[in-house]
Amino acid sequence: MQDTPPRPPGNRSVLGPLLVVGVIAGATLVARRLGYGLGSRTIVRCRMGHLFTTIWIPGVKLNALDLGVARIQRCPVGRHWSLVTPVRDSDLTTEERELARTHRDSRIF
């Protein structure tokens, strides 16, 4: 067997995390352009129709199981586990926005 020379130090150890950060930033920008207000007070709807606010930052899950554009998360309104998805602000009435803001999920699981 031939000994292979050691690899010179490179940027490979940095490339992976930078790629992940780039994909997350791109997904966030696309979602915002589509009308979804992602961030610390994102309005979401559970499968039973309840509206509440949660932290929704792509790639960061503090209290949910991520499924891409949806999450399995505890609904504070119905007190059940459910599939939740972000809601466009333009799809909500003023009353629905106010109702969602009165119900917040737990900040950290």
In 10 A of CB 103, how many CB atoms? 16
Helix or strand (DSSP H, E) at 30: helix 12-33
Per-residue pLDDT 10s for the chain (109 aa) are 566 666 655 556 778 788 877 777 777 777 777 777 777 789 999 999 999 999 887 766 666 677 778 889 999 999 999 999 999 989 999 999 999 999 998 765 4
Q: For the chain, which residues make up each domain, given as ranges?
A: 12-102
Q: Return d(Cα 105, Cα 52) in angstroms, integer.
A: 7
In 10 A of CB 87, how many CB atoms? 19
Q: Return d(Cα 58, Cα 52) in angstroms, integer.
A: 18
pTM above 0.85?
Answer: no
Helix or strand (DSSP H, E) at 95: helix 94-102
Identify the residue whose tokens are 């059940």: 80
Reported residue count of the chain is: 109
Q: How many CA atoms lie within 13 A of 35 on its CB side?
A: 6
